[in-house]
Amino acid sequence: MGKLFIVLGIVFIIIGVIWTLFGKLPGDISFKRGNFSFHFPIMTSIVVSIVLSLILYLIGKLK
């Protein structure tokens, strides 16, 4: 159980770093009108998904 928490912590740290570095990629949708703003990070979500898939694949191969 402890190893699972360590791996999840590392994954969350990597997600945080990626989100900070690539917070507004081309392809992210943003609208701003008056007091209303909407941001949908499509490309950021795709990049995070690919990185997480690679990390989990590598962790599975190491077991």
Range of the domain at 35: 16-62
CA 52/CA 63 separation, integer angstroms = 17
Q: Structure pTM?
A: 0.56
Q: Please report whether residue 47 resides in a domain.
A: yes
Confirm whether 53 is domain-assigned.
Answer: yes
Tens-digit pLDDT string for the chain (63 aa): 788 888 888 888 887 887 777 667 788 888 899 999 988 888 878 887 898 898 889 888 877
Domain membership flag for residue 9: no
Residues 2, 9: Cα–Cα separation, whole Å: 11
DSSP reduced 3-state for 1: coil
Q: How many domains does the chain have?
A: 1
pLDDT of residue 35: 92
